Amino acid sequence: MSRPWPPECRLHIVTGKGGTGKTTAAAALALALAEGGGRVLLVEVEGRQGIAQLFDTAPLPYEERSIAIAPGGGEVFALAIDPEQALLEYLDMFYKLGRAGKALKRFGAIDFATTVAPGMRDVLLTGKACEAVRRTAADRPGAAFAYDAVVMDAPPTGRITRFLNVNTEVAGLARVGPVKNQAEAVMRVLTSPQTAVHLTTVLEDMPVQETLDGVEELRAAGLPVGAILVNMVRTAHLTIGKRAAVSTAAEKRVAALLRPYGIDTDETHALAVLGREHAERLTLEEVERRALDGAGQPVVELPQIGGGIDLGGLYELAAALSAAAAIGEAA
Amino acid sequence: MSGTPKRLDVDGLLTDPATSIIVCCGSGGVGKTTVAAALALRAAEQGRDVVVLTIDPARRLAQSLGLTELDNNPREVEGVQGAGRLFAMMLDMQRTFDEIVENHADPERIEQILQNPFYQSLSAGFSGTQEYMAMEKLGQLRRTGEETGSWDLIIVDTPPSRSALDFLDAPNRLGSFLDGKLIKVLMAPAKAGGGFALKVLASGFSIATMALNKLLGSGLLHDVQTFVGALESMFGGFRQRAEETYQLLQAEGTAFLVVAAPEPDALREAAYFTERLAAENMPLAGLILNRVHPVTVPELSAEKALAAAEELDADSADPRLAAGLLRLHAERVRLAARERRLAERFTASQPGVAVAEIPAQSGDIHDLDGLRLAGDLLAG
Ligand SMILES: Nc1ncnc2c1ncn2[C@@H]1O[C@H](COP(=O)(O)OP(=O)(O)O)[C@@H](O)[C@H]1O
Ligand SMILES: Nc1ncnc2c1ncn2[C@@H]1O[C@H](COP(=O)(O)OP(=O)(O)O)[C@@H](O)[C@H]1O
Ligand SMILES: [Mg+2]
Ligand SMILES: [Mg+2]
């Protein structure tokens, strides 16, 4: 297996079809990257408070907060980037706008910039993430940067290219001026090997199709595609050879084996039907796997966690990601 | 048992001639499009003349509905087995937005608007655009149905937003943007006079303008002003139609169906949505629980199945098949119990909401046969 992301990668952007596990995978990846003493920032950009929900904490303010300790030491911080706050911060930092900044706010210009001109909003969101990537460490002896990595729980596949392609989006709107310069600076980070865009999916037709389309779009825009994270992979209870074997004859043999347990032939038949459906699903999943392999990107499988995701489940997923990265490293 | 909900009478709803609009909503990926299409097919096969507005259908489903060309208009679906007719269309958001401009803006301004970078940015990315356009299209379908008599039942799918509520909030969001102070001030130069209050606003505004020009370059503000000025003639109509469609949703003959998968996020959204509909006086017909996993051997507990599987593992006569089936069953029993618990929690917090279920199929639902089967399962 190839490396799921380049070693110099420090900005991990996690996209995927809605509901396939972007937030979960982003959190697990942050834990995996912090493993053994690192410091990682997990950011969200859609105002959904998905990270707070996942870690079962109060809604995140616009402030970097420690949210979890990684296996073997290491710490994950979280930040919900709010475009309005990011704009004000940006204005303050670079222009000392003061009164004019307030006027902008009073006139809803901030609202305007952040809701109506999505390109502007996006450059603020990605800009803040890039700032965290580049921030140098004042308080970390021996470390070059404040964070070893930044993981973004990003918008879904359908919007990701537009979201990251801030340069093109903003170019039509702001032709000159600092916002345009900012967009260009952000774009330089996003198209460099420092960045990888990972896509989560499940082994079903629609999400796989969307993933393949997403990979194409990202590539066409010159954005660096990372790994395909196949999420919620279920345990196969029938080995390959047995899948086709849930035949009528096999059902008879199984019935004989199960009778001592008080399971009658009707019940065995119901179990066999379940087995056939399972086999059918596994076959379809194989087709989806092959389609994903065709994308030519590294693929990492994440197991389905029974009973829902809690911190333990996140650690389990983080372990799967670390293992994949370690195998890739060795290869 | 108190947790047992009322069964949703799907056929009663579909065949009632008073039912004229059915809105399928729910969070993304739960099966809204599938349910909308399955209901539409069933209604047509029971004699209704139906149009279904789908949003982002799976490619193969779109193909089986004959939706190969994106022309933003309904086409008749072939292969309906029954007295009614079925039309289907796929929403093209950008096309719908452009059509509004073409139909409602001053003729000499149409090109100017369509070419404006702000229009292009807004129409493609304003959060809620898709929701708003779905509403707009619903209004159009209603008018076409009344004019041509081609259909008397409209089934609408809703955009694949994360939150089911986005659909109801979109028109308001667009409205409040259009009512915003900035828009007012930007439009002021276009209006004669403007009045004292606006003049005061305008002086503070020039500070803001200067700041914006400094940040973005002066060309930008000019584009915004042109854009806003050009759209002005449409704004009134925009809001008015959004309000009309909203009222349509509250009218007699409209029924909402909330679609959810038996998972915590989807059911949480479904509960919010149920409460919100009640608050807005919008009629909820029921909840459709999609992709549930039934237990087929109820007498066999998960523990017993696993214990038997362990024993069989040690038995060399078993070629692993029996043990595999038992483990599969045990997993199913646990999953079903979890789904049942989640569904009961929903029913307890939303008593009186009728429920219908569709079991998870092993493959996708991507053709008329699949939709027909889903319809049969729904109707119970
Ligand atoms: N590997 C997994 N095993 C089990 N459940 C999962 C897994 N990954 C995600 N989930 C669950 O699926 C749902 C959607 O995941 P989430 O990360 O919120 O998706 P997204 O951010 O893409 O919408 C959540 O309820 C989450 O707990
Ligand atoms: N009961 C079901 N069993 C199996 N697959 C289903 C079921 N319902 C929906 N699907 C599949 O799930 C995918 C998503 O369904 P879709 O209706 O497009 O969801 P939504 O419109 O809510 O995003 C489709 O590929 C569809 O075929
Ligand atoms: Mg999420
Ligand atoms: Mg859909």
pLDDT-based confidence at residue A2 (cuts at 50, 70, 90)? confident
For residue A63, what is the DSSP state?
Answer: S
The pLDDT value recorded for residue B202 is: 56
Q: Is residue A243 predicted with pLDDT exceeding 90?
A: no
Q: What is the mean pLDDT of residues A77-92?
A: 84
Say yes or no for a CB contact (<8 Å) between B177 and A274: no
The answer regarding whether domain B10-169+246-293+340-379 maps to CATH 1.10.275.10 reads no
Alpha helices for A55-177 (secondary structure H): 83-95, 99-106, 109-111, 118-134, 157-164, 166-171
Residue B91, CA distances (Å) to A21, B96, B132, B236 in order:
26, 8, 11, 24
Cβ–Cβ under 8 Å, residues A56 and A19 = no
Quickly count: other Cβ atoms within 10 Å of residue B7's Cβ.
Answer: 12
> Which listed ligand is nearest to A44 at the C-alpha?
3
Nearest CA to ligand 2 atom 15: B31
The pLDDT value recorded for residue B40 is: 98
Quote the CATH superfamily of domain A11-235+296-324: P-loop containing nucleotide triphosphate hydrolases (3.40.50.300)
Q: Which residues of B touch A280 (CB under 8 A)?
A: 362-363
Q: In 3-state terms, what secondary structure has residue A201?
A: strand
B28 ligand 2 Cβ < 6 A: yes
Say yes or no for a CB contact (<8 Å) between B296 and A270: yes
Q: What is the mean pLDDT of residues A161-182?
A: 78
- CA B17 to chain A, closest CA, distance in angstroms equals 35
Residues 6+ apart with CB under 8 A from A109: A103, B182, B208, B212
Domain residues of chain A, as ranges?
11-235+296-324
A19 ligand 1 Cβ < 6 A: yes
d(CA A91, CA A177): 13
The pLDDT value recorded for residue A203 is: 97
d(CA B33, CA B350): 24
The pLDDT value recorded for residue B321 is: 87
Q: In 3-state terms, what secondary structure has residue B206?
A: helix
The pLDDT value recorded for residue B114 is: 86
Q: Which residue of A has its CA nearest to B210?
A: A100
Q: What would the two tokens of residue B341 be?
A: 């618990």
Nearest CA to ligand 1 atom 25: B265
d(CA B250, CA B214): 47
The β-bridge partners of A44 are A80, A153
Say yes or no for a CB contact (<8 Å) between A173 and B117: yes
Q: In 3-state terms, what secondary structure has residue B83?
A: coil
Alpha helices for chain B (secondary structure H): 10-15, 32-45, 59-64, 93-104, 110-115, 117-125, 129-148, 166-178, 181-187, 195-216, 218-250, 264-279, 302-314, 321-349, 368-379
Cβ–Cβ under 8 Å, residues A197 and A160 = yes
Q: Which residues of B touch A235 (CB under 8 A)?
A: 331
The pLDDT value recorded for residue B254 is: 94
Q: In 3-state terms, what secondary structure has residue A172?
A: coil
Q: What would the two tokens of residue A310 be?
A: 């809690």
Q: How far is the CA of B268 from the centre of ligand 1 (A)?
A: 14
pTM here? 0.90
**Any CB–CB contact under 8 A between B312 and chain A?**
yes
Could you report how far apart the first and last alpha carbons of chain A are, in Å? Answer: 7
The pLDDT value recorded for residue A209 is: 96
CA angle A195, A200, A205 (to 5 degrees): 140
A207 ligand 1 Cβ < 6 A: no
d(CA B4, CA B342): 12
* Among B19, B2, B16, B35, CA closest to B270: B35
Q: Which one has a higher pLDDT value, B199 or A327?
A: A327
The pLDDT value recorded for residue A246 is: 74
d(CA A164, CA A14): 12
Q: What would the two tokens of residue A253 be?
A: 């043999």
The pLDDT value recorded for residue B3 is: 58
Mean pLDDT per 10-residue run, chain B (380 residues)?
Answer: 78 97 91 97 98 92 87 92 96 86 82 80 68 85 95 92 68 65 60 48 64 68 71 65 81 94 93 91 94 96 96 76 93 96 95 95 93 96
The pLDDT value recorded for residue B71 is: 74
> Which listed ligand is nearest to A204 at the C-alpha?
2
Q: In 3-state terms, what secondary structure has residue A295?
A: coil
